[in-house]
Structure 1
Amino acid sequence: MHIDLGEDRPGRLEADVAIVGSGVAGLTLARRLIEGGRSVLLLESGGLDYEAATADLNRGFSVGEDYYPLEDSRLRFVGGTTAIWGGRVAEFDAIDFERREWVPHSGWPFGLEALAGYYRDARTLLDLPADAPDPLPSLLDQVDGPEVERREWLIDPQFDRFGHEAQRALFEHPRLTLVTHATVREIRCADDGGRIVGLDVVSPSGERVEVVAHDYVVAAGGLENPRLLLASNSVKPAGLGNDHDLVGRFFMEHPHGRGGHMVASGKRLWSLIEAFQKQSIGHYESASLVRPSDALQRERRVLNSALALAVRPAAGSRQPLLTSAYLAAKHRLDPTKRGRSAWRLYKSAGRVIRHNVGPLMWWLRHRRGNELALVLRAEQAPNPDSRVTLNRDELDATGMPRAVLDWRMTPLDRVSAAELVHAFGRRIEALDLGKVMPEPWLDDPARDWVSDPLVSVHPLGGYHHMGTTRMADDPRQGVTDGFGRVHGLPNLWVAGSSLFPTGGWANPTLTIIALALRQADRLLGRL
């Protein structure tokens, strides 16, 4: 059933579980719970497509490292930000879950083995092989060694997988009620502070709707999850789950940057370019990257970052005219269904060119004066001073304080990227494949991180908001336990990448799905 609060006036809604947010975490939870016999209310602040008025609720303030405008950094409509997701799928590595004594605040409440089966289920949900296939042979097989290792992304073959049309069968299930234009203004706590008793939901016209459930799950993303918990302060002045001032802290991204460039020629250059291009495997694609080995991370006391090679304009040069035009058009287009269709057309055209022209296109671009750049997608160390807070003097249309993002990096982030670039360079030279020329900022202790708009269409980071309601067995170290249940509130849960204690190099979506499946099984009493 679908209720649109822009038109309907239900007054009160009830279910076994109420989920705030219809992105990948909320949808995954809802599906698993209804399959297990529970009734679910799925509350979405937006409608079935992008609306400027609803998007304005995302507007906030960025006061730390340069970041994207907050109103553009996530989407409010059914399917959430997955509507413009690039489809990259990868597991976290085992070391990502470990407590690394050289990485302050690292360590998950469980190891990779706890998610192994759920990763299989998550890939199956994305129409990918349950077990990640072996990578296609390439020159990177030689690069894989004691200091650097080859890894793969799989690419989800379906655009807009989590949108309303694609999920229609789910929304028609008799135990699921999708409620759109339903903005949760506050999570209401009992007077004794011991449990949640309801949600204060507001419609676009300002009318209130009461939502009552047995369990409540906040699955609104790494910025909105802490914002909602902090704003729910009628009973607990510091906000829910914030007895130890942890809600909103430890904000992490995957910062992007230029690590340097490769000098090579002839057949070797061609093979290197080809090794990092997307490759077709049946109905989906894969793409390669290089990460530091576990041994190197332990020896050099660094983070688990990643790099790939791509032909890019040289550092300090101008953006190519066609790329500039694409970026300008992309920023002018709202992410409506029409705008997303244009983006999909661009992506599809790129796929056709790759399949028919292959590395020749990149070789020709390199001949025109570009360079073979090292594109960094880095792990960021958890930092309690990198955080989301509220500006209580600036309220949105529902009366909720706007978010303030203070994104901060640490020297370890830069040092880790430098060690990866240097290790990759040593391996390349040992194989006589060329020479790596690192960017000077990597070894400059006066810098924490340097972004480069020429190296990626997302130059600052991956739009990956992680860590702001982190998991930990000890309430003094985290907001939730290892299943996402908020400490001290037995019927309040959090889902999504805000749970991540560390971020690894891998895109978060597959782990979000795996965690949501595990959390649903806990709610169903299976774990």
Structure 2
Amino acid sequence: MSGGPIDRTPVSDADVCVVGAGPAGALVADRLAADRDVVVLDAGPRFDPADRLARQERAIRPSYGRPDVWDVGGERDAHANSGERVYPLNHARVKGIGGSTLHWQGMVMRLHEADFNSETERGVGEDWPIEYADLRPYYAAAERELGVAGASDNPYAPPREEPHPMPAFEPSYSDSLFAEACEELEIDMHSVPNARNSEAYDGRSACVGYGTCQPVCPAGAKYDATVHVERAETAGATVIDRAPVQRLEHAGDRVTAAVYATPDGETHRQTADAFVVACGGVETPRLLLLSASDAYPDGLANSSGTVGKFFMDHLFAGAGGTLDEPTRQNHVGFYTSACDQFYDEADESLAPFKLEFFNYAGPSPVEQALTGEDWGDALLDRLRDGYGTHIAMGGLVEQLPRSDSYVTLDPDRTDDHGNPVPEIHWSVDDRALRTVERATEIQREILETLGADVEWVAGPDATGPAYHHMGTTRMSADPDDGVVDADCRTHDLDNCWIASSSVFPTGGAMNPTLTIAALALRVADDLDDWLAAA
């Protein structure tokens, strides 16, 4: 990396200003950069790829917490909680070029058809103003862009138009153990689509098995958004790091400038013809609320009063224990088999959920060695006795959108620029908690059929978030019911789009990143058409 001064001054005559360089912002910028003057502003730094091995070492040392790996914390990342459940926001977010994909697990599933019509099909939730068919070609494009390894062996998945770009990863050894119990219980297992290379793809190597996928992949085999940031820059885009946007200015129904700060204490105004807010499910509503004006006293694009409302996440359901035989866990840093068999049984009483067969239960040999005080033969005996017999399952459960689950501004605490920090008020519905209990019943049955000694269960009383922030600027056909329209353009502002999981009216129970990517590509196409017609 260059040691010279970095130019963080605004770009003149920009067509598009994108706020956020995570997966959504990166894909929008890459899609538009060849034909449009694009500038991307991101609050965090540009991490040096050469540091990833050091970050991997930091990740496996017990003296470091997960946020430490990507320098999360401090005044910049301060937040508050006010809900019935504490939401540990900083545990799983990254501010910087690449965003959350720098530390994500890399699982990429499509939402099911009924997820787009939850109120009609299941009697609860909301219907999206788009159908699965509207997003289907963009899902395929997103799989190509990210590089997805998968197979067509899931009978419960929504229809698709072509094979995945790469073949699926082979089932793990512990998958074969699970398969015996699942066959006896007539529970189906199938492969999992991964945004990591099962073979060389797009100039990046195949997975080499470091096993530290979450929170860092030193090899670059797992997709992260720096791929598209760099591609956008090659095509002519300007990417400015450490440029946190303080507010959006507007005149009438058009955003006119993004006001951002720089490390030297300067404040700049980036003007553009169009703006894309791609800051994720927490920082996106926060920025709109910070941009309140006389015309929008409750926050920009908030005539509906729904900015920040309907904050959702996926709830975790899990169970695990030990077997009296080797399970070879922690050889693979991601899971390779899942079960969607119960997903479409969802109704008013039970939510959609999926089951995951873990490959990373229990401590790794490195973790065991670093946390003990014994050495030599005693350490070897402990590793032989305690490693490799753990086994576990996980799962994700949908949470319904609720008005009493929201993101707002904390009135008492400010960040390093004097702005109110995000306050999260997280509430969970009874339907989700019932479904967590149902999922853990199935998981326990599988583990006990396998012969495992079940030692822990993450049921309704122990569940937590999957760190998938959704719903806070939701999509709606009626401007009174949401923040953006079917094209993700804000109802109130003619030249402002939102590319984020924050536009999800419902969350389903599938990891959201592929849907984020598909929507971002769709936003780019709509924005390009708008610019052409302007």
TM-score by length of 1: 0.73
CA offset digits 1:255-275 (Å, max 9, x no partner): 3243x4589888xxx8xx68x
Q: State whether residues 289 and 306 of structure 1, in contact with CA within 8 Å, keep that contact through their aligned partners in structure 2.
A: yes
CA offset digits 1:288-336 (Å, max 9, x no partner): 11234355324964333434356856xxxxx8996478799xxxxxxxx
The residue matched to 1:88 in structure 2 has which SS? coil
* Higher strand content, 1 or 2: 1
Q: State whether residues 286 and 308 of structure 2, in contact with CA within 8 Å, keep that contact through their aligned partners in structure 1.
A: yes
The residue matched to 1:115 in structure 2 has which SS? helix
2:462 to 431, 446, 450: 450
Tell me the CA shift for residue 473 of structure 1: 1.1
The match for 2:395 is 376
The residue matched to 1:123 in structure 2 has which SS? helix
2:353 to 297, 304, 312: 304
The match for 2:202 is none
Tell me the CA shift for residue 189 of structure 1: 1.7
TM-score by length of 2: 0.73
The residue matched to 1:124 in structure 2 has which SS? helix
1:155-166 equivalences in 2 (<5 Å)? 155-157=195-197, 158-159=220-221, 161-162=223-224
The match for 1:413 is 432
- Residues in 1 aligned to 2:402 and 2:196: alpha-carbon distance in whole angstroms: 31
Aligned residue identity for 1:183:
P
User: Given the alignment of the two structures, is residue 96 of structure 1 paired with residue 96 of structure 2, yes or no?
Assistant: no
Q: Extract unaligned runs of 5+ from structure 2.
A: 49-69, 150-161, 198-219, 373-382
Q: Extract unaligned runs of 5+ from structure 1.
A: 314-318, 329-360, 443-447, 452-459
CA offset digits 1:221-244 (Å, max 9, x no partner): 111001000110123110012222
The match for 1:248 is 308
The residue matched to 1:211 in structure 2 has which SS? strand
User: Given the alignment of the two structures, is residue 488 of structure 1 paired with residue 492 of structure 2, yes or no?
Assistant: yes
The residue matched to 2:13 in structure 1 has which SS? strand
User: Given the alignment of the two structures, is residue 154 of structure 1 paired with residue 161 of structure 2, yes or no?
Assistant: no
Q: State whether residues 11 and 210 of structure 1, in contact with CA within 8 Å, keep that contact through their aligned partners in structure 2.
A: yes
Tell me the CA shift for residue 49 of structure 1: 2.4
- Residues in 2 aligned to 1:72 and 1:24: alpha-carbon distance in whole angstroms: 19
Tell me the CA shift for residue 93 of structure 1: 1.9
1:121-270 equivalences in 2 (<5 Å)? 121-128=141-148, 131-132=163-164, 140=179, 143=182, 150=190, 152-157=192-197, 158-159=220-221, 161-162=223-224, 167-174=229-236, 176-190=237-251, 192=252, 194-235=253-294, 236-258=296-318, 260=319
Q: State whether residues 483 and 519 of structure 1, in contact with CA within 8 Å, keep that contact through their aligned partners in structure 2.
A: yes
CA offset digits 1:110-132 (Å, max 9, x no partner): 22222221121111112335623
- Residues in 2 aligned to 1:397 and 1:264: alpha-carbon distance in whole angstroms: 49
Aligned residue identity for 1:44:
D
1:23-42 equivalences in 2 (<5 Å)? 23-35=22-34, 37-42=35-40
Q: State whether residues 331 and 360 of structure 2, in contact with CA within 8 Å, keep that contact through their aligned partners in structure 1.
A: no
The match for 1:478 is 482
Q: CA 1:493/1:167 → structure 2, altered by over 3 Å: closer, same or farther?
A: closer
The range that moved more, 160-169 or 382-391, is: 160-169
Q: State whether residues 72 and 95 of structure 2, in contact with CA within 8 Å, keep that contact through their aligned partners in structure 1.
A: no
Q: How many residues align?
A: 454
Aligned residue identity for 1:171:
E
Q: CA 1:160/1:136 → structure 2, altered by over 3 Å: closer, same or farther?
A: closer
Q: CA 1:436/1:135 → structure 2, altered by over 3 Å: closer, same or farther?
A: farther
Q: State whether residues 253 and 379 of structure 1, in contact with CA within 8 Å, keep that contact through their aligned partners in structure 2.
A: yes
Q: CA 1:40/1:427 → structure 2, altered by over 3 Å: closer, same or farther?
A: same
- Residues in 2 aligned to 1:72 and 1:261: alpha-carbon distance in whole angstroms: 22
Q: CA 1:238/1:311 → structure 2, altered by over 3 Å: closer, same or farther?
A: closer
Q: CA 1:413/1:437 → structure 2, altered by over 3 Å: closer, same or farther?
A: farther
Q: CA 1:467/1:142 → structure 2, altered by over 3 Å: closer, same or farther?
A: same
The residue matched to 1:251 in structure 2 has which SS? coil
The residue matched to 2:353 in structure 1 has which SS? coil
CA offset digits 1:460-516 (Å, max 9, x no partner): 433221111111112232211122111121111111111112222222221111110
Tell me the CA shift for residue 165 of structure 1: 7.8
The match for 1:112 is 132
Alignment RMSD: 4.0
Sequence identity, in percent?
30
Q: CA 1:278/1:323 → structure 2, altered by over 3 Å: closer, same or farther?
A: closer
Q: CA 1:297/1:209 → structure 2, altered by over 3 Å: closer, same or farther?
A: same
